[in-house]
């Protein structure tokens, strides 16, 4: 099994969540009572846990950045007159553009963000294992948030949220 570097992952994640534009994600509600920031942070942590659980060698930095920025669309789904169809099929494109503007993304990071809605966006096929992992983690997190399966998320990243 491949040993993943948790320190690198959380250091990179902390750098991303300290960015002022990323902090704006706290203003936008997403699934149930979750904000886009909370959802993205949860997806990042779940993604790392999936890779660790299955011993999948990944780029810790690119996984952290891509997962945290996968929903970096910066609008309020409920209040900005965005239809469910438009959001479902278009927000990944918007998130890639926004994230690249502020973070100079790698190709892998762009793919993570662009393809996270696969298979809904059937043409946005994941091209790397990090993208597949984030896509799975996104569905798990969204389901958890919609159904409030775990109540208040009390995971290791609580300290990160306080520092952001």
Walk me through the domains of the chain, giving residue ranges and CATH numbers: 6-163 (1.10.3210.10)
Cis peptide leading into 147, omega within 30 of 0? no
The winner for highest mean pLDDT among 1-15, 80-94, 140-154 is 1-15
**Residue 137 predicted with pLDDT over 90:** yes
Tell me how far apart the alpha carbons of residues 134 and 2 are, in angstroms, rounded to a whole number.
18
Tell me how far apart the alpha carbons of residues 155 and 162 are, in angstroms, rounded to a whole number.
13
Whole-number pLDDT of residue 84: 59
Looking at the chain, the number of H-run helices and the number of E-run strands are: 8, 0
pLDDT tens-digit profile of 100-133?
999 999 999 999 999 888 777 777 778 999 999 9
Tell me how far apart the alpha carbons of residues 40 and 20 are, in angstroms, rounded to a whole number.
15
Question: What is the rounded average pLDDT of the residues 155-159?
Answer: 49
Contacts of 3 (CB under 8 A, 6+ apart): none
The winner for highest mean pLDDT among 15-29, 30-44, 71-85 is 15-29
């Amino acid at each position: 099994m491949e040993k993943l570097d948790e320190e690198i992952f959380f250091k990179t994640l902390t750098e991303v969540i300290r960015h002022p534009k990323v902090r704006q994600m706290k203003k936008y509600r997403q699934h149930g009572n979750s904000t886009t920031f909370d959802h993205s942070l949860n997806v990042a942590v779940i993604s790392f846990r999936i890779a660790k659980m299955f011993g999948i060698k990944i780029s810790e930095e690119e996984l952290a950045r891509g997962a945290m920025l996968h929903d970096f669309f910066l609008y309020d789904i409920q209040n900005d007159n965005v239809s469910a169809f438009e959001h479902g099929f278009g927000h990944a494109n918007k998130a890639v553009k926004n994230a690249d503007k502020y973070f100079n993304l790698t190709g892998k990071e762009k793919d993570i963000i662009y393809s996270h809605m696969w298979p809904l966006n059937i043409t946005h096929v994941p091209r790397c294992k990090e993208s597949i992992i984030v896509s799975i983690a996104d569905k798990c997190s969204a389901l958890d948030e919609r159904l409030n399966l775990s109540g208040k998320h009390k995971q290791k990243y609580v300290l990160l949220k306080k520092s952001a």
